[in-house]
Amino acid sequence: MSRSVTLTLSLGLLLTFAPTGSTHAQEGCGGPPTMPPLTFEEPQIIDEVRAGGEPSVEGLPDGTLAYAAHASTTLFNRDNMPDPDFVTPYTGATYLWRSIDGGDTWRYVGLLGTEVGPHATVSGFSDPDFAVDAAGNVYTSGINLANVYVAKSEDSGATWTGHPFATVMTDREWLAADEEDVVYLNGNQIPGGRRMWKSTDGGLTFDLVNFVQLPGSGPPSKIEVDKSDGRLFFPAANGTVAVYPNAREGDFTRIDGVIPGGTPHAHGFLTNLTIDRAGNVFLVTNTRNQIRVSHSTDRGVTWQTTVIHDTTADDTPEIAEDVLWPWISAGDDGRVGVSWFQADRPVPVTDDTVASYRVYAAQTVTGHGWVDGCGEERPPVYEVTVATPEPFHTGTICSEGTTCQAELPEAVDRRLGDYHTNSISADGRFLIAYSDTSFKPDGAVSHPGFLRMATGVDFVDGEEPLITEVDDADPAIEYRRGWHRRTDPAASNGGYHRRMGSAGGGQPPTARLVFEGNEIRYFYAVSEQGGSADVFLDGELAATIDYSGPAPGDSPGFGHSISFDDLGEGSHELLIAHRSGAVYVDGFEVVSGEDGGPDPAAAETRSVTTTSTGELSGLGTTVLVETVEVGPDDEWLSVVVEGAEGPVTVKLLDPTLGVVAQASQLLAGGSSVGIDLEPVLSGRYTVQVLDTQGSPATVEISIARTIALR
């Protein structure tokens, strides 16, 4: 079934394990699993007023999305002041938004769940982060250098309880969560160096768990916990990953896993790490021209490193664009997503090189390698794409902290901060949060940007959905009271069903499909004759559809659809109830489990259409005659005559040759006329078309019978 429409996203997330050739594999040994192209929807600015520096995004277990950003009290471009978006909306904490529809829309909530201030009982404007414990509780944090706060939400970010964490001045804190109410926090305690704290009461109180500096030097990187056993990971800056296998028991004896090639972080200072649902660990680093991902299949003890992107090896190696600030997330076994910023030119120093930056992204289903058909182990294979076709930032980037604003004679642009983040949603989609300055290039602050994967591989490898196409002529569709099938090469499979006229008295004309599945998409057409219909799902009104459009009535415009999802597995009924005008059915697609799809046994009627054409001479005396056999199981008879430029008289004669109906105009301003009735007698019915105005024309006579099946 071919249609010029965008199908449901679930279609784009299917993974095909078809072997293909590969330069990595020996000849004849096959290639890695093939992946559909990784693409992203149009970038969103989720708040056009508040700032969006150093954003964090988190996919929560129930499908809610949380997004937080720096209040930009320090992340701004001094040369673009004054700016009403700078500081003015800030009333207590880092900015916080929430989406309950997968990222379609966002609502600013603040820590007190309100769109207006005050937003928090705690204080902190910078460095937001998220973590989720095993019970689904969500934590967020922020700093103001003199203070760190941790807030907890038990309702997926709708409301929060904030807890100030009084400690010595601390910079760049990160969170990780384990079992219910167990939260870790690490940060750069000034001047003591890196420290880590642990809370077992949901962030109310914290205990210092290490009294010596964590390994490595420089600002800290984000920590992660494997909730299967409580193992804690800390990516260090000295080429190692610190692993605390017994952190859950309070034993912080560490193992240092050594990363082949070290942990470079050109143009930045963070080294990010993630854990897939099978316990494999992944670390992303970067040189000026390479994105590298290291993986460990033994819980962080030994590692292998793969270069997944090299700008000196692309189609324009002479440009050798710089890359910076990579971030990494993982879903099910071996399913890994990476995003980073990429300049359009070499950038020796971001502080004084003007460049245009785009968000790039990559994904793989072979994050810890794959085995070819000859039994040989092969390295991971990543699909790389440009996530923002247009630059999201053009200019310099300062990563020197608050000292950026003190540089003379001109301040260096500090709007982006030092990092961006990504996450995996509950339904397995890759999400990216970034700071956008293209929305308001002359503003003092950036704004919160959001990217959502459109097509690619689902990061949550559940049961692959079964997509069943149901053509309009499928016997599983039950048509009642006058639906006609017409041929049209623009329609799917060359035809569609149409009901014209008014609903009349009694029960309305209906098209009904019973199916098993969690989602259904209804495809239809629109035209200048289009009317309206109600769509019911399981007896409840789900939508009213307007079929009006610019296309002519004899050549409607196809490719329109409406989707109904989250229905729950099991049997459902979709009913289209005609209200007025022309209503169209081009087909359906049902998304279900292995045994789902349409239920042909549920249809209680079928519709049979016969079509003929005839010539009206224009002499005013021509009579066209067409007959149809009506059986004892026929419960409805419908006649439509169209094509004449002037009025025609249409009569229907029963088997006794008595006139049982005369046609009336079906559509205001149209030439179509029709008859709809419940036949009383079985036998041969006769349709007579009489030219009463003397207008030559080729007319079409369409006769539809609704036949009861039981």
Report cis status (omega within 30 of 0) of the bond before 389: no
User: What local confidence, expressed as pLDDT, does residue 1 receive?
Assistant: 36
Percent of the chain clearing pLDDT 70 (strictly above): 88
Name every residue whose Cβ is closer than 8 Å to that of residue 455 and which is 6 or more positions away in sequence: 9, 12, 13, 36, 37, 38, 39
User: What local confidence, expressed as pLDDT, does residue 113 receive?
Assistant: 62
Average pLDDT (48-77) is 91
Question: Left, alpha or beta for 506 (phi > 0: left; psi -120 to 50: alpha)?
Answer: left
User: What local confidence, expressed as pLDDT, does residue 4 receive?
Assistant: 26
Angstrom distance (rounded) from CA 508 to CA 396:
65
Distance of CA 447 to the CA centre of its chain: 21
Average pLDDT (221-244) is 91
For 186-224, what is each residue's pLDDT tens digit? 887 777 777 889 999 999 999 888 755 566 555 568 999
Higher-confidence residue of 33 and 294: namely 294
User: What local confidence, expressed as pLDDT, does residue 112 receive?
Assistant: 66
Contact 662, 649 (CB under 8 A): yes
| Residue 316 pLDDT greater than 70, yes or no | no
Co-location of 397 and 506 in the same domain? no
User: What local confidence, expressed as pLDDT, does residue 692 receive?
Assistant: 73
Angstrom distance (rounded) from CA 47 to CA 106:
8
Of the listed ranges 35-44, 155-164, 354-363, 606-615, the one predicted with least confidence: 155-164
pLDDT bucket at 5, cuts 50 / 70 / 90: very low
The residue among 603, 620, 637 that closes a domain is 603
Buried b (16+ CB within 10 A) or exposed e, 256-283: bbebebbbebbbbbbbbbbbbbebbbbb
User: What local confidence, expressed as pLDDT, does residue 422 receive?
Assistant: 97
Higher-confidence residue of 315 and 387: namely 387
In 191-286, at which residue ranges do the beta strands (DSSP E only) sit? 193-199, 207-208, 224-226, 231-235, 240-244, 255-258, 272-275, 281-286
pLDDT bucket at 13, cuts 50 / 70 / 90: very low
Of the listed ranges 352-356, 536-540, 609-613, 614-618, the one predicted with least confidence: 614-618
Buried b (16+ CB within 10 A) or exposed e, 331-369: bbebbbbbbbbbbeeebeebbeeebebbbbbbbbbbbbb
What's 690's domain CATH number?
2.60.120.380
| Residue 319 pLDDT greater than 80, yes or no | no
Q: Would residue 695 count as lying in a domain?
A: yes
Q: How many CB atoms lie within 10 A of CB 105?
A: 11
Name every residue whose Cβ is closer than 8 Å to that of residue 463 and which is 6 or more positions away in sequence: 593, 594
Of the listed ranges 255-259, 416-420, 515-519, 663-667, the one predicted with least confidence: 663-667
| Residue 275 pLDDT greater than 70, yes or no | yes
Of the listed ranges 404-408, 489-493, 524-528, the one predicted with least confidence: 404-408
What's 589's domain CATH number?
2.60.120.260
| Residue 89 pLDDT greater than 90, yes or no | no
Average pLDDT (29-56) is 91
For 442-472, what is each residue's pLDDT tens digit? 999 999 999 999 999 999 976 656 788 899 9
The residue among 577, 603, 629 that closes a domain is 603
Q: Would residue 57 count as lying in a domain?
A: yes
Of the listed ranges 17-21, 356-360, 395-399, 541-545, the one predicted with least confidence: 17-21
Co-location of 150 and 297 in the same domain? yes
DSSP code of 80?
G
* Maximum CA extent, the chain: 106
Average pLDDT (295-303) is 95
Lookup result for tokens 């001045």: 169
| Residue 476 pLDDT greater than 90, yes or no | yes
Q: Would residue 3 count as lying in a domain?
A: no
Co-location of 473 and 438 in the same domain? no
pLDDT bucket at 20, cuts 50 / 70 / 90: very low
pLDDT bucket at 302, cuts 50 / 70 / 90: very high
User: What local confidence, expressed as pLDDT, does residue 211 receive?
Assistant: 52
Q: How many CB atoms lie within 10 A of CB 8?
A: 17
pLDDT bucket at 115, cuts 50 / 70 / 90: low
Positive or negative, the CA dihedral 484, 486, 492, 498 is negative
Average pLDDT (215-239) is 83
Of the listed ranges 236-245, 257-266, 325-334, 435-444, the one predicted with least confidence: 236-245
| Residue 289 pLDDT greater than 50, yes or no | yes
Distance of CA 88 to the CA centre of its chain: 32
| Residue 138 pLDDT greater than 80, yes or no | yes
Tokens read off for 362: 């990559």
For 557-570, what is each residue's pLDDT tens digit? 998 889 898 898 88
Higher-confidence residue of 194 and 632: namely 632
User: What local confidence, expressed as pLDDT, does residue 236 receive?
Assistant: 83
Question: CB-based burial of residue 523 (10 Å sphere; 0-12 exposed, 13-18 middle, 19+ buried)?
Answer: buried
Residue 635's domain comprises 608-708
Angstrom distance (rounded) from CA 566 to CA 427:
12
Q: Would residue 223 count as lying in a domain?
A: yes
Angstrom distance (rounded) from CA 284 to CA 58:
18
Q: What helix, strand, coil percent values describe the chain, rounded to 5?
A: 5, 45, 50
User: What local confidence, expressed as pLDDT, does residue 137 receive?
Assistant: 95
Co-location of 533 and 595 in the same domain? yes
Using only the alpha carbons of the chain, give its radius of gyration.
Answer: 32
Residue 238's alpha-carbon distances to 215, 234, 241, 308, 372, in angstroms, are: 7, 11, 9, 22, 34
Tokens read off for 331: 């879903």
Residue 654's alpha-carbon distances to 217, 306, 462, 707, in angstroms, are: 95, 80, 58, 17
User: What local confidence, expressed as pLDDT, does residue 172 receive?
Assistant: 82
Co-location of 317 and 428 in the same domain? yes
Short-list 636, 640, 630, CA closest to 689: 640
Find which of 158-167, 632-641, 666-675 is predicted with most confidence, using mean pLDDT. Answer: 632-641
Of the listed ranges 312-316, 526-530, 645-649, the one predicted with least confidence: 312-316
Co-location of 49 and 175 in the same domain? yes
Terminal-to-terminal C-alpha distance of the chain: 30
Residue 649's alpha-carbon distances to 5, 639, 654, in angstroms, are: 40, 13, 17
Tokens read off for 557: 């415009």
| Residue 246 pLDDT greater than 80, yes or no | yes
Question: CB-based burial of residue 690 (10 Å sphere; 0-12 exposed, 13-18 middle, 19+ buried)?
Answer: middle
Q: Would residue 381 count as lying in a domain?
A: yes
Tokens read off for 308: 């997944």
Percent of the chain clearing pLDDT 90 (strictly above): 60
Short-list 219, 132, 140, CA closest to 182: 132
Angstrom distance (rounded) from CA 364 to CA 461:
12
Name every residue whose Cβ is closer than 8 Å to that of residue 223 and which is 6 or more positions away in sequence: 174, 175, 176, 184, 186, 196, 232, 233, 234
| Residue 583 pLDDT greater than 80, yes or no | yes
Q: Would residue 20 count as lying in a domain?
A: no
| Residue 23 pLDDT greater than 50, yes or no | no
pLDDT bucket at 91, cuts 50 / 70 / 90: low
Which helix (H) or strand (E) segment holds residue 615: the answer is strand 605-616
pLDDT bucket at 8, cuts 50 / 70 / 90: very low
| Residue 237 pLDDT greater than 80, yes or no | no
Co-location of 704 and 685 in the same domain? yes
Angstrom distance (rounded) from CA 96 to CA 436:
17
The pLDDT mean for the chain works out to: 87
Angstrom distance (rounded) from CA 404 to CA 114:
33
- Edge to edge, the sheet with strand 495-499 lists 484-487, 495-499, 583-585
Q: Would residue 7 count as lying in a domain?
A: no
Co-location of 521 and 631 in the same domain? no
What's 122's domain CATH number?
2.130.10.10
Angstrom distance (rounded) from CA 128 to CA 174:
8
Number of separate domains in the chain: 3
Co-location of 599 and 616 in the same domain? no
The residue among 425, 455, 485 that closes a domain is 455
Co-location of 226 and 286 in the same domain? yes
Co-location of 275 and 415 in the same domain? yes
| Residue 710 pLDDT greater than 60, yes or no | yes
Residue 587's alpha-carbon distances to 2, 235, 525, 548, in angstroms, are: 11, 53, 10, 18
| Residue 56 pLDDT greater than 70, yes or no | yes
pLDDT bucket at 664, cuts 50 / 70 / 90: confident
Q: Would residue 5 count as lying in a domain?
A: no
Co-location of 266 and 354 in the same domain? yes
